[in-house]
Amino acid sequence: MTHATTEQFNELQEEFWKKESEIETAAREAITHNFDVIAGAYGFTDADIEELITTRDW
């Protein structure tokens, strides 16, 4: 499920690149943090955040 969501962020990043922009560092960190918080809320407190978003391209 997290990989599918990460792919959607990848698609969003492509749109930014088309406009000669990108998802900024602070936004990338916030997105990553949110994945961690959501995983924890669903009981995956030991989840490896890098594994959750391993398909990211941003």
CA 12 – CA 30 distance, rounded (Å):
15
Query: In this predicted structure, what is the pLDDT of residue 6?
Result: 96
Are the C-beta atoms of 56 and 6 separated by less than 8 Å?
Answer: yes
CA 41 – CA 17 distance, rounded (Å):
32
- The structure's pTM equals 0.85
Mean pLDDT of 11-35: 96
CA 37 – CA 52 distance, rounded (Å):
12
CA 47 – CA 21 distance, rounded (Å):
31
Q: Where are the domains of the chain?
A: 2-52
Mean pLDDT of 26-45: 97
Share above pLDDT 90 across residues of the chain, in percent, rounded to a whole number: 97
Name the band, by pLDDT with cuts 50, 70 and 90, for residue 50: very high
Mean pLDDT of 5-23: 96
